[in-house]
Amino acid sequence: MRVYLPATFEMLVGLNETGAFSARSGWGFAVTPALTEFYTAGDEEEIAYAAFQDAAEASLRLLAIGDETFPYRRVVVSVDVPDETVTLQPEMGESVVKLEPAQVAVDDVAAIHVDIEESEAATRAAIEAVDASDLGDEDAELIVGDALDNFMAFYDPSELPFLVELL
Protein backbone atom coordinates (compact mmCIF):
# COMPACT_ATOMS: atom_id res chain seq x y z
CA MET A 1 0.00 0.00 0.00
CA ARG A 2 1.23 3.49 -0.78
CA VAL A 3 1.38 5.63 2.38
CA TYR A 4 2.26 9.32 2.53
CA LEU A 5 4.29 10.23 5.60
CA PRO A 6 4.62 13.81 6.84
CA ALA A 7 8.24 14.60 7.55
CA THR A 8 10.87 17.29 7.97
CA PHE A 9 14.28 17.81 6.42
CA GLU A 10 15.92 16.57 9.64
CA MET A 11 14.01 13.31 9.23
CA LEU A 12 15.43 13.00 5.71
CA VAL A 13 18.93 13.46 7.13
CA GLY A 14 18.24 10.61 9.55
CA LEU A 15 16.89 8.44 6.73
CA ASN A 16 20.04 9.06 4.73
CA GLU A 17 22.34 8.33 7.68
CA THR A 18 20.61 5.24 9.07
CA GLY A 19 18.70 3.81 6.11
CA ALA A 20 15.46 3.88 8.09
CA PHE A 21 12.67 6.34 8.74
CA SER A 22 10.04 6.33 11.48
CA ALA A 23 6.60 7.72 10.87
CA ARG A 24 5.90 10.18 13.68
CA SER A 25 3.82 8.18 16.21
CA GLY A 26 3.17 5.71 13.40
CA TRP A 27 0.71 8.00 11.57
CA GLY A 28 0.45 8.32 7.83
CA PHE A 29 -2.09 8.98 5.09
CA ALA A 30 -3.31 6.74 2.28
CA VAL A 31 -6.09 6.09 -0.17
CA THR A 32 -8.54 4.30 2.09
CA PRO A 33 -12.11 3.11 1.55
CA ALA A 34 -13.31 6.02 3.71
CA LEU A 35 -11.42 8.55 1.57
CA THR A 36 -12.67 6.98 -1.65
CA GLU A 37 -16.23 7.06 -0.32
CA PHE A 38 -15.82 10.71 0.74
CA TYR A 39 -14.96 11.72 -2.84
CA THR A 40 -18.01 10.96 -4.96
CA ALA A 41 -16.16 12.12 -8.07
CA GLY A 42 -12.57 11.94 -9.17
CA ASP A 43 -10.21 9.28 -10.35
CA GLU A 44 -7.73 7.30 -8.28
CA GLU A 45 -4.94 9.80 -8.91
CA GLU A 46 -7.05 12.71 -7.62
CA ILE A 47 -8.00 10.76 -4.50
CA ALA A 48 -4.33 9.86 -3.92
CA TYR A 49 -3.50 13.55 -4.21
CA ALA A 50 -6.01 14.30 -1.43
CA ALA A 51 -4.19 11.82 0.85
CA PHE A 52 -0.87 13.39 -0.16
CA GLN A 53 -2.22 16.85 0.71
CA ASP A 54 -3.26 15.58 4.15
CA ALA A 55 0.35 14.49 4.70
CA ALA A 56 1.64 17.86 3.46
CA GLU A 57 -0.64 19.63 5.94
CA ALA A 58 0.54 17.33 8.74
CA SER A 59 4.11 18.28 7.84
CA LEU A 60 3.20 21.86 8.83
CA ARG A 61 2.46 20.58 12.33
CA LEU A 62 5.82 18.82 12.50
CA LEU A 63 7.57 22.02 11.46
CA ALA A 64 5.75 23.91 14.21
CA ILE A 65 7.26 21.57 16.80
CA GLY A 66 10.94 21.46 16.10
CA ASP A 67 14.24 23.11 15.50
CA GLU A 68 14.88 22.56 11.82
CA THR A 69 17.62 23.32 9.33
CA PHE A 70 14.86 24.24 6.87
CA PRO A 71 12.04 25.32 9.19
CA TYR A 72 9.74 26.48 6.41
CA ARG A 73 9.82 23.58 3.95
CA ARG A 74 7.24 20.81 4.07
CA VAL A 75 8.40 17.27 3.36
CA VAL A 76 6.32 14.24 2.38
CA VAL A 77 7.88 10.80 2.04
CA SER A 78 5.85 8.34 -0.05
CA VAL A 79 6.44 4.72 0.94
CA ASP A 80 5.18 1.39 -0.31
CA VAL A 81 4.59 -0.99 2.59
CA PRO A 82 2.83 -4.35 2.99
CA ASP A 83 -0.92 -4.00 3.56
CA GLU A 84 -0.70 -5.98 6.79
CA THR A 85 1.47 -3.25 8.37
CA VAL A 86 -1.27 -0.64 7.84
CA THR A 87 -4.33 -0.18 10.05
CA LEU A 88 -7.08 2.13 8.81
CA GLN A 89 -8.07 4.87 11.27
CA PRO A 90 -11.23 6.44 9.76
CA GLU A 91 -12.28 7.91 13.11
CA MET A 92 -9.14 10.10 12.91
CA GLY A 93 -9.85 11.21 9.34
CA GLU A 94 -10.74 9.61 6.03
CA SER A 95 -7.13 9.14 4.89
CA VAL A 96 -5.48 8.43 8.25
CA VAL A 97 -3.63 5.15 8.77
CA LYS A 98 -1.39 3.73 11.47
CA LEU A 99 1.82 1.91 10.53
CA GLU A 100 3.02 -0.96 12.69
CA PRO A 101 5.92 -1.07 12.77
CA ALA A 102 6.27 2.67 12.35
CA GLN A 103 9.75 2.34 10.92
CA VAL A 104 10.25 1.89 7.20
CA ALA A 105 13.45 1.18 5.30
CA VAL A 106 14.91 3.43 2.66
CA ASP A 107 14.11 0.63 0.19
CA ASP A 108 10.39 1.23 0.93
CA VAL A 109 10.62 4.87 -0.18
CA ALA A 110 8.89 5.50 -3.50
CA ALA A 111 9.31 9.28 -3.66
CA ILE A 112 10.32 12.33 -1.65
CA HIS A 113 8.63 15.71 -2.01
CA VAL A 114 10.06 18.93 -0.56
CA ASP A 115 8.83 22.52 -0.73
CA ILE A 116 10.85 24.72 -3.05
CA GLU A 117 12.56 27.83 -1.70
CA GLU A 118 9.92 30.15 -3.19
CA SER A 119 7.27 28.50 -1.01
CA GLU A 120 8.93 29.30 2.31
CA ALA A 121 6.99 32.51 3.06
CA ALA A 122 3.62 30.81 2.51
CA THR A 123 4.71 27.77 4.52
CA ARG A 124 5.89 30.00 7.37
CA ALA A 125 2.50 31.74 7.49
CA ALA A 126 0.69 28.38 7.33
CA ILE A 127 2.69 26.99 10.27
CA GLU A 128 1.49 29.91 12.35
CA ALA A 129 -2.12 29.53 11.13
CA VAL A 130 -2.61 25.74 11.09
CA ASP A 131 -4.10 25.45 14.59
CA ALA A 132 -6.59 28.26 13.96
CA SER A 133 -7.43 26.65 10.63
CA ASP A 134 -8.24 23.38 12.40
CA LEU A 135 -10.61 25.31 14.66
CA GLY A 136 -12.52 26.73 11.70
CA ASP A 137 -10.99 30.21 11.34
CA GLU A 138 -11.72 31.00 7.68
CA ASP A 139 -8.80 33.41 7.26
CA ALA A 140 -6.43 30.80 8.69
CA GLU A 141 -7.91 28.16 6.37
CA LEU A 142 -7.09 30.40 3.40
CA ILE A 143 -3.51 30.87 4.61
CA VAL A 144 -3.02 27.13 5.02
CA GLY A 145 -4.67 26.53 1.66
CA ASP A 146 -2.25 28.94 -0.01
CA ALA A 147 0.69 26.93 1.33
CA LEU A 148 -0.88 23.63 0.32
CA ASP A 149 -1.31 24.95 -3.23
CA ASN A 150 2.45 25.50 -3.56
CA PHE A 151 4.57 23.16 -5.62
CA MET A 152 6.60 20.52 -3.84
CA ALA A 153 9.63 19.28 -5.78
CA PHE A 154 9.82 15.55 -6.53
CA TYR A 155 12.94 13.55 -5.75
CA ASP A 156 13.58 9.93 -6.60
CA PRO A 157 14.75 7.91 -3.56
CA SER A 158 18.14 7.44 -5.25
CA GLU A 159 18.61 11.23 -5.03
CA LEU A 160 18.34 11.28 -1.22
CA PRO A 161 22.11 11.57 -0.54
CA PHE A 162 22.39 14.44 -3.02
CA LEU A 163 19.28 16.15 -1.68
CA VAL A 164 20.63 16.07 1.88
CA GLU A 165 24.06 17.26 0.77
CA LEU A 166 22.97 20.02 -1.62
CA LEU A 167 20.15 21.59 0.38
The answer to whether residue 8 scores a pLDDT higher than 80 is: yes
Nearest to 63 by CA among 76, 48, 79: 76
Q: Report if residue 44 sits inside a domain.
A: yes
Comparing CA positions, the residue from 85, 82, 104 lying closest to residue 7 is 104
In degrees and rounded to multiples of 5, residue 151 shows phi and psi of -70, 135
Of 114, 121, 95, 86, the closest CA to residue 38 belongs to 95
In a domain, 131, yes or no: no
67-75 mean pLDDT: 87
- Say yes or no to pLDDT of 67 above 80: no
Residue 94 lies in a domain: yes
- Whether 7 shows a pLDDT value over 80: the answer reads yes
- What integer pLDDT is reported at residue 37 of this predicted model? 92
**74 inside domain:** yes
For residue 101, pLDDT beyond 80: yes
Mean pLDDT over 13-18 rounds to 96
Mean pLDDT of the chain, nearest integer: 94
HEC string of 97-152? EEECCCEEEHHHEEEEEEECHHHHHHHHHHHHHHHHHHCCCHHHHHHHHHHHCCCE
pLDDT of 97 strictly over 80 = yes
Is 140 a member of any domain? no
Residue 135 lies in a domain: no
* Region label for 117, one of left (φ > 0), alpha (ψ between -120 and 50) or beta (otherwise): alpha
Give residue 33's domain range: 2-120+154-160
Counted domains in the chain: 1
* pLDDT for the residue 166: 81
Is 127 inside any structural domain?
no
Q: Which of 110, 112, 127 is nearest to 164 (CA)?
A: 112
> In the prediction, which pLDDT does 129 show?
96
As a residue count, the chain comes to 167
Q: What is the structure's pLDDT at 33?
A: 94
132-160: per-residue pLDDT in tens?
999 999 999 999 999 999 999 999 999 99
CATH at 12: 3.20.170
Q: What is the Rg, in whole angstroms, of the alpha carbon atoms belonging to the chain? A: 15
128 located within any domain? no
Rounded Cα–Cα distance for residues 75 and 60 (Å): 9
| Residue 46: per-residue pLDDT | 94
Provide the pLDDT for residue 41: 81
Rounded Cα distance between 77 and 6, Å, is 7
